[in-house]
Structure 1
Amino acid sequence: MPINVPKELPASDALKQEKIFVMDEDRARTQDIRPLNILILNLMPEKERTELQLLRLLGNTPLQVNISFLRTATHRPSHVSPHHLDNFYTTFEEAKNRRFDGLIITGAPIEHLDFEDVTYWDELTEIMDWAAANVTSTLHICWGAQAGLYYHYGVDKYELPEKYFGIYEHHISDPTVKLVHGFDDVFHAPHSRYTSVSREAIDANPDLTLLSVSEQGAPFIIMSGDGKNIMITGHMEYDAGTLAEEYERDHSRGVATAVPENYFPNDDVNREPPHRWRSHSHLLFSNWLNYYVYQATPFEWD
């Protein structure tokens, strides 16, 4: 949230030069406030777990947020009960006549497929087209980030030689950008994916800004110039134990996944991994909600 200061306070100029969000008394008196309406397109198989992870982060701000969950009509998930979907989820046909302040498109375990081979690709592109005119800002996560980069900006994914799996250090290119306000120069984030996107292709696109890369140089936080599309290639929403559960699940299926890098203490799978990215997860979501949704969305859409 912004700080409200007297209009002529000398410190306000210095704060503005540091890109700290300052609101003077005149604007504060005339600012209308209402709940934010956020739509979550949940493409993850274990929907109830993803709901909890995202709601935990969206609920940690002073803003009042109304949440709606969206599911695909062209694909019926098998890892969640029909009762849960029918009671708590809506379809795009039911939601498309509304406008939303923010949209979150989650990841999905379908990286091995070309985008056009995904059963709900046409539906997803229709949602992304609709969001351009009916959503203030969209946050894309992991596969959802790759889908957004491909559809909106022509940046394709490519297969990695092995699963990019673990907790990695990341660096910020410009700490004055509001999305990463408060971030440390180096911070940790989880990744779990078999594909990546080209840093060169992102750098070459004038509509995109690369805000953060991993220690290996992999793109992590990418933002469009207007802030309407924000792509996060990892999983900042993950709990401390999520990668451990993925590791165990892979091995139970006969997939020889390596131990997640920089995750278990001393690479001992019997030890509990620390949650080293929690604070930056909350910062990322609160910055997105404040600067790119709340401060940018109209009070009345019409």
Structure 2
Amino acid sequence: MPIRIPDDLPARKTLESEGLYVMDSARAARQDIRPLEIGLLNLMPNKERTETQFARLIGATPLQVNLSLVRVTDHKSKNTSEDYLNSFYRTWEEVRGLKFDGFIITGAPIAHIPFEEVRYWPEMVEIMNWTRTNVHHTMFICWGAQAALHHFHNVRRYRMDHKAFGVFRHDIVNPRVPWLRGMSDRPMIPVSRYNDIDRTTLPERLDVLIDNQDIGLCMLEDRAGHAVFFLNHLEYDNRSLADEYERDVKAGLDTAPPVNLFPNGDPTREPENRWRSHAHLLFQNWINEIYQTTPYELEKIGE
């Protein structure tokens, strides 16, 4: 089945060129099934790139999905025009009365700022609390995961001596959970972060699902809270880490090339994607599990 996104969203052309079936509004209205309602709170500066990355993974599942793009109300984007946001995004205030089968909260390039000093932190707290009552299952990504672990579980993060940057093998700690069904024992996963989680502050209710003892925790689950926390970036495309590296070099930063990304470690060559299949598998598992467990009547979510 296809994904349904706004008819004029620029991501549509990219997805269609990749062979993904994107449903228009008229065809979606004739489908005699209830589509899954998935929301994406996009906190990244490059909205179009991020929404394309997630839509690519969500749209590859065999179920009809309505993808709603959401942004924080109390924030002006420096990198995306207000016309674009008004055309394709709804603010938090506009969706707070709705319910969703699944909801994704992305990362944000503000990991150096204490949570309570982030300008839209009060709204983030409202949104995170709202996911406990209006969302069947939530996936928190990168900074979004750090924020949720801090808010819900008082988990402490700390600044590492060096940036974890590259594509690293990780260990599947619990292959029996539905989210990791079919995963290889040691998948390659893109990593780009300065912060790590203090393991001594993890409460017992959190289960570690994917780990790397050298790079840090990757994925945790809060079963009671109907949420998973993914600290790295399976959603990244081929160029995400490479473009970040090039930006750092142009900015005069002493950033080493991302590990295990370029063939033979040569940054002049095109990156190799070693994680695409696991990215699709994770999101297909997530969508499938939501479909199997969410109430048929959307309004019953949270009861």
TM-score range, shorter chain: 0.7 to 0.9
How far has the Cα of 1:176 moved from its partner? 1.2
- Secondary structure at 2:208's aligned position in 1? strand
- Secondary structure at 1:238's aligned position in 2? coil
Amino acid at match of 1:296: T
- Secondary structure at 2:136's aligned position in 1? strand
Normalising by structure 1, we get a TM-score of: 0.86
- How far, CA to CA, are the matches of 2:225 and 2:134 in structure 1? 14
Amino acid at match of 1:289: I
Amino acid at match of 1:298: P
- Deviation by residue 1:164-187 (Cα, 9 ceiling, x = unmatched): 100000011121111100000111
User: Partner residue of 1:42?
Assistant: 42
Matched, 1:245 2:243: yes
Aligned residues: 269
How far has the Cα of 1:114 moved from its partner? 0.2
- Deviation by residue 1:61-116 (Cα, 9 ceiling, x = unmatched): 11100011111111111101111100111111110111111110000000000000
- How far, CA to CA, are the matches of 1:198 and 1:215 in structure 2? 12
- How far, CA to CA, are the matches of 1:284 and 1:74 in structure 2? 31
Say what the alpha-carbon RMSD is for the aligned residues.
1.5
Which structure 1 residue ranges, 5 or more long, are not aligned?
A: 1-31
- How far, CA to CA, are the matches of 1:244 and 1:144 in structure 2? 22
Give runs of aligned pairs for residues 1-302 of structure 1, distance below 5 A. 34-202=34-202, 205-214=203-212, 216=214, 218-226=216-224, 228-291=226-289, 293-300=290-297, 301-302=299-300
- Secondary structure at 2:293's aligned position in 1? coil
Which structure 2 residue ranges, 5 or more long, are not aligned?
A: 1-31
- How far, CA to CA, are the matches of 2:205 and 2:213 in structure 1? 24
How far has the Cα of 1:217 moved from its partner? 5.5
How far has the Cα of 1:35 moved from its partner? 0.4
How far has the Cα of 1:201 moved from its partner? 2.5
Amino acid at match of 2:218: F
Amino acid at match of 2:211: V
Normalising by structure 2, we get a TM-score of: 0.86
How far has the Cα of 1:120 moved from its partner? 0.7
Q: What is the percentage of aligned positions where both structures have the same residue?
A: 47
Larger Rg: 1
Question: How has the CA–CA distance of structure 1 residues 226 and 289 changed in structure 2, closer, same or farther, with 3 Å as cutoff?
Answer: farther
